[in-house]
Amino acid sequence: MSADKPMRADKPASDPGDEVLENEFRAMFAERSETVRMATAPYASVRQRIAAARRKRRLRLGSAGVAFAVAAVGIGVWATVPGRHQAAVAPTTTTPASGAPAKYLYADGRTEIPAGPLQQAALAWLRANYHGDLSGLTVVTTFDQGAQAAANVSPGDSGVAVVDPRTGAVLGLGGAWDTPLPVADLMKPIVLAAAFQTGHYTPDSKEPLDAQNHPVYWPTGSEKNPLTYMSGNQQFNWPPESPSTTIHDIDVTLTQAAESGANEPFAQLELAADVGPSAVYQLAMRMGMPKSSPEFFPVPALVLGMAQETPLTMASVYATFDNGGIRHDPRMVGQLLAANGGNVWMPPDTSARVLSQGTADQVTAVLHAQLFNGPTVIGVNSIAAADRSGLWAAAGAPSSEEAAWLTGGDAHYVVSVGAFSKTSAGPLRPMGDDHHGGVDIGSEYAGSIWADVMGRLRTRD
């Protein structure tokens, strides 16, 4: 059998769309460049899930409301519960916002925002959340001048989003903040949260570091055929590891696993009988990752972060950690004012507790250690030791190195940086030439931007 084809003993040769499904399958179970060899039953089950998900997606795309929200400059995340927003809208109508506002103001209510990306972002948010006539109204946004100035430091093909975790207010947007990118290692803290929520794990719980001596199995109880992948002509136990990650046949704490950037401990955790991909998937959605996100499915490779999200989405998701487990839907508008200055509308506070306070505190403690005690520190060394208290973040990059992330914050801000590079024709291209991904690559390309933005934000306070 060819090394670049997965074994498909249970896959009918005449099944239409085989090649497309095969590519989706490989992408979900391991890095795209690797070949996965699976036991037949899981493969058939996942193919059925993929086909069902794609049918549902086509049905969803037939809905004008969802299609509009997705099209709204990548900010359809908070338009998934229109009923709650409509309840506070006056006048009540089922049609999207119409008309053109007279002007847009920063959150101070005095300084006007010039025409450009911020106006466009606020208008897109209103069209997804407000149902009335905007003609002649003044839009008071949530954008903060100082935070916006800090976010604007993003160079080239990178995006920055700054969110207030206590309210969900979007304070600043820089560069390509609405470009979806593979989230890579940024999925691991969500795996940690799902595990901590069970009450069976703590940051000091231990998992194996070496997949070759401690294989993972899926579904739970299928202990004859471990998950494997092909690299070149060799077969290895899944998951793949970055060459920069030192692997020994030992057990490590979850904090140590986060510091090192290893995949195996998190794969073991995700596939544990009391956690599971479905629990991680459901939690990720409750924290703000849209169900319609590309490559987002409840399968083992969820832990490798194949799902694609924007910097704004990940800032909002991570804000839940910072806010003690309470999620606020992100918002870009504080209120709408009439020509005479009277209040026309204020968006409701759409929030919900999705994690316990203890779980949120445990995750941020792990991410503080990751930020400064492992290879993630590469990109944030400019932060003085005296200024590191209270800071936490996760870094990551897929093996393709088509994206690099650093996302985290302090008690007042959550900043998400997604860096990438595009070819002249538009597709993403590798940012480095070693093609191994991992937390060190994420920090190398996104860390300095994040450190700069956080430094500016903390200085102004």
pLDDT tens column, 269-320: 999 999 999 999 999 999 999 999 999 999 999 999 999 999 999 999 999 9
Distance from C-alpha of 156 to C-alpha of 242, rounded to nearest angstrom: 26
pLDDT at 430: 66
pLDDT at 90: 36
Distance from C-alpha of 224 to C-alpha of 247, rounded to nearest angstrom: 24
Distant-in-sequence, close-in-space partners of 23: CB < 8 Å, separation ≥ 6: none
pLDDT at 3: 34
CB count in 10 Å sphere of residue 352: 12
Query: Is the CB of residue 326 less than 8 Å from the CB of residue 167?
Result: no
pLDDT at 424: 57
> Which one-letter DSSP state was computed for residue 285?
H
Query: Is the CB of residue 264 less than 8 Å from the CB of residue 239?
Result: yes
Query: Could you tell me whether strands 228-231 and 308-309 are parallel, antiparallel, or unpaired per DSSP bridges?
Result: unpaired
Q: Does residue 213 sit in helix, strand or coil?
A: coil
Lookup: tokens for 266? 């998190």
pLDDT in tens, 394-424: 999 998 888 999 999 999 999 999 998 776 5
pLDDT at 245: 79
Instruction: Record the pTM.
Output: 0.80
Phi/psi at 35 (nearest 5 deg)? -105, 135
Tell me the Ramachandran region of residue 430: left when phi exceeds 0, alpha when psi lies from -120 to 50, beta otherwise.
Answer: beta
Distance from C-alpha of 394 to C-alpha of 54, rounded to nearest angstrom: 31
Q: Going residue by residue through the chain (461 aa), what tens digit of pLDDT does each one get?
A: 333 333 333 333 434 444 433 333 333 343 333 334 343 334 444 445 555 555 554 444 343 333 333 333 333 333 333 333 333 333 334 566 778 999 999 999 999 999 999 999 999 999 999 999 999 999 999 999 999 999 997 666 899 999 999 999 999 999 999 999 999 999 999 999 999 999 999 999 999 999 999 999 988 777 778 999 998 899 999 999 887 778 888 999 999 999 999 999 999 999 999 999 999 999 999 999 999 999 999 999 999 999 999 999 999 999 999 999 999 999 999 999 999 999 999 999 889 999 999 999 999 999 999 999 988 888 898 898 888 999 999 999 998 888 999 999 999 999 999 998 776 556 566 666 655 678 888 888 899 999 999 999 998 76
Q: Does residue 370 sit in helix, strand or coil?
A: helix
